[in-house]
Structure 1
Amino acid sequence: MKKLYKILLLICSIGLLTGHASAQQNIQFSQYIFNTLSVNPAYAGYKEEWFAQMALRNQWVGIQGAPKTGQISIDGILDPQTTKHGVGVQITSDKLGPQTSNSITLNYAFRIQLDGADTRRLSFGLGVGAAQYGLDGSALTTVDGGDGSVPTGGSSKIAPDFRAGIYYTTPYWYAGISALNLLSNSKSVDDYRRSTNIADNIVRTRHMYFVAGALINASTDLRFRPSVMIREDFKGPTNADFNIMAIFNDKVWLGGGYRTSVKAFKKEYQNTDVASQAALIGIAQFYVNERFRIGYSYDYALSKLNGYQSGTHEITVGIAFGKAPKASICPRVF
């Protein structure tokens, strides 16, 4: 286990020690289908009522230093009559081996009504915030003692964040595209090697997301909700999540997904030993009542790492509060 922990720390810090990587991947939740605000600011206010959600993710259980993430978000509308202005705030805390990240983002969405019945909306969203990235140098052991690339104690950096997105919805399908971490530093490898602020190397890189999904009514008591999310950072493998949920009586959701990485573009990493990774995901969600839900998901890794850990657990809790909307569009499906 100690050997595996050292391998994990090496993976986390390979960019610091070699200069071959300059930034980190964004956090990814298996239950993104219940909180699209985490990847697209244009989603703010979609439910047309105030909604709060908490998510806790414990990845690769059994491995010391494995990723642990917590997130709280609240979003709603400022104008209940026209529902044109959506706002939201999101607070995230993440820890991976010697690295930590804490961020807060304020989101705004301008929602355009596209038809008289108000069944189609096109939203444009912006998000601004800040993130504090930290590195505990005492948790790292270098081959050569006194390596100047690793801090002797703690090192931290506060970086601004800016994101933008577009989100289109109808009663039966949706699609959105967004870009996160747009202000992420894009220093060259040589600049990072010369950097005296080691925390520069763990700031997350720019990401683009595409999300889409649909609602299929099989009967009055059974509906299906397929969805897909594609994540691209233009440095590592392109990640894709494919999910499908069965909805029983609009109360119980059961389903799963498949996550994989593909080589969509020619990138520097393709000249290395980086391999495609995949996972199977099981998801369940239950509405205790019309305004309170709880969800759980389990990730089963389809890689050699599976023999060293017992999976990934994720719990989400959501609650709607305040005055109910006038006439919402599938408020708890998308």
Structure 2
Amino acid sequence: MMQRKRTIYMTLLLLVAAVIPGKAQQNVQFSQYVFNGLSVNPAYAGYKQDWYMNAIYRHQWAGFPGAPRTGGISVDGLANSRDNKVGLGLQMMVDRLGPQEALSIYGSYSYRIPLDDEDTRRLCFGIGAGVTQYAIDGAALQYVDNDDEAIPTGKASTWIPDARFGIYYYTSRFYAGVSVMDLFALYTDATRYSWKGNNYAAIRKTQHVYFTTGTMLTLSPVLQLKPSLMVKEDFKGPTSLDLNAFLLINEKIWIGGSYRTNVKLWNKDNLIDDLTAVNAASVMVEFYANERLRIGYAYDLNVTRMAGYQGGSHEISLGFLFPSKKYSLTNPRYF
């Protein structure tokens, strides 16, 4: 059984290296990112005005050996500044995929420009900086030659600095944002990802651009609809599109789902013409136990041939708001 698992681990690693163009892998994406915008845009820092902490854990492809497992925690809020113009954030994340591991720590700074006297619209510019420790555990790999020097005898790791940038606009009922994550990925010296002369650059994350937008529509005094979408582009692999819709019931329960697929926005010479779209559907429930605590759960199901080989993906999250006089039920933060 252990030998079989190690064989699958090696297979996963080879698949990652083979299907991701440019010898780099896709960024982690949470289904519940719509409840924590800091994960995709540093300009989101301070949006809720009060300090907010979010913790999340994702187990992807349940029942599949070596499947991705990701956990993270973030906190963001306003600095003690005039006119609430400065937002700060901190995010820590660990991601494991078979023998691979990435541990990252990022700090974010957002400058929030008010656009009206009532403070219902702001344009925010954000920057983030941090480091990621990329690692490969040789003990999790199965190999034929016991003396293969390309396989680390233990865990081989390296620390890589990086940065991110974003713009975020919001009103009480609408938001839109664009961000660039892993800015330095295209310029990182690949020799840092090496072990005794063997290159492991395939484990690094590649540069991504995100576009997000959404709105709130009032259907009745106790029912509201929140449609949103996200486009994720790395300029190498297929463009990813997320379509989301949530119903907010009595300001207490969010019920909704999302559909993720690949779209062809323009021709990419490095992709084959008959590439099969990777589709996934999610159902999500978010419950506000009180005005401070949010509890969320998401279940993802791959709508592909792989669906029969794993038990879907599970994701749980907790959000905790440290409310002050700035927050009230008459001035909620929906995004």
| Change over 3 Å in CA distance of 1:140–1:265 after alignment to 2 | farther
Task: State the Cα deviation string for residues 240-264 of structure 1 (Å, max 9, x = none).
Answer: 1100000001111101110111233
Q: What does 1:1-334 correspond to in 2, within 5 Å? A: 6-7=7-8, 9-14=10-15, 21-79=22-80, 82-142=83-143, 146-186=147-187, 196=197, 198-267=199-268, 269-271=270-272, 274-321=275-322, 323-325=324-326, 331-334=332-335
Distance in 2 between residues matched to 1:316 and 1:65, nearest whole Å: 22
Distance in 2 between residues matched to 1:177 and 1:296, nearest whole Å: 26
Q: Does structure 1 conserve the Cα–Cα contact (< 8 Å) formed by 2:9 and 2:140?
A: no
Distance in 2 between residues matched to 1:10 and 1:186, nearest whole Å: 28
- Where 2:83 maps in the other structure, the secondary structure is coil
| Change over 3 Å in CA distance of 1:267–1:4 after alignment to 2 | farther
> Under a length normalisation based on structure 2, what TM-score does the superposition of the two structures give?
0.90
Task: State the Cα deviation string for residues 248-293 of structure 1 (Å, max 9, x = none).
Answer: 0111110111011123333354138753110110010000001111
The residue identity in structure 1 corresponding to 2:30 is F
Distance in 2 between residues matched to 1:50 and 1:190, nearest whole Å: 40
- Where 1:31 maps in the other structure, the secondary structure is helix
Question: Identity of paired residues, percent?
Answer: 44
> Under a length normalisation based on structure 1, what TM-score does the superposition of the two structures give?
0.91
Q: How many residue pairs are counted as aligned between the two chains?
A: 334
| Change over 3 Å in CA distance of 1:293–1:123 after alignment to 2 | same
Q: Alpha carbon RMSD of aligned pairs, Å?
A: 2.9
- Where 1:223 maps in the other structure, the secondary structure is strand
Q: Does structure 1 conserve the Cα–Cα contact (< 8 Å) formed by 2:190 and 2:201?
A: no
1:156: how far off?
A: 0.8
Q: Does structure 1 conserve the Cα–Cα contact (< 8 Å) formed by 2:166 and 2:180?
A: yes
1:188: how far off?
A: 9.7
Structure 2: which 5+ residue stretches go unaligned? none
1:141: how far off?
A: 3.2
Q: Does structure 2 conserve the Cα–Cα contact (< 8 Å) formed by 1:124 and 1:167?
A: yes
Distance in 1 between residues matched to 2:139 and 2:195, nearest whole Å: 21
| Change over 3 Å in CA distance of 1:127–1:187 after alignment to 2 | closer
1:140: how far off?
A: 2.5
Between stretches 250-259 and 18-27, larger displacement belongs to 18-27
| Change over 3 Å in CA distance of 1:81–1:67 after alignment to 2 | same
Q: Does structure 2 conserve the Cα–Cα contact (< 8 Å) formed by 1:80 and 1:325?
A: no
| Change over 3 Å in CA distance of 1:257–1:237 after alignment to 2 | same
Q: Does structure 2 conserve the Cα–Cα contact (< 8 Å) formed by 1:48 and 1:80?
A: no
Structure 1: which 5+ residue stretches go unaligned? none
